[in-house]
Amino acid sequence: MSQPPTQHINVELGEKEAEGIYSNFVVISHSPAEFILDFTRMLPGTPKAKVFARIIMTPPHAKMLLKALNDNVEKYEKQHGEIKLAKTDQGKQFGFQSPMEPKK
């Protein structure tokens, strides 16, 4: 059984996009049809966060992104060591967070 030929995709990166956008907080929401990721920047002590980029994708693409991120984090940690997560101070949360699990 032969494998299909490898497909190459040319990705065009504009000058503005090449600068990138720094984000330390993301708000993730979903509906039956899509996942919405709002990338923001928050500063400690500031009650507001401005959305700098919104990415909308289908649930299958969101799951593929999750797998690709996991794969890349594993590769990074093999090369550079474990990524340490900062501990929160007395219940204060900052940066990317998962929703808290309800207490049982």
DSSP annotation string for the chain = -PPPPPPP-PPP--HHHHH----SEEEEEE-SS-EEEEEEE--TT-S--EEEEEEEE-HHHHHHHHHHHHHHHHHHHHHH-PPPPPPPSTT---SS-PPPPPP-
* pLDDT tens per residue across span 45-85: 888 889 999 999 999 999 999 999 999 999 999 999 999 98
* pLDDT tens per residue across span 82-97: 999 887 655 555 555 5
Higher pLDDT, 83 or 102: 83
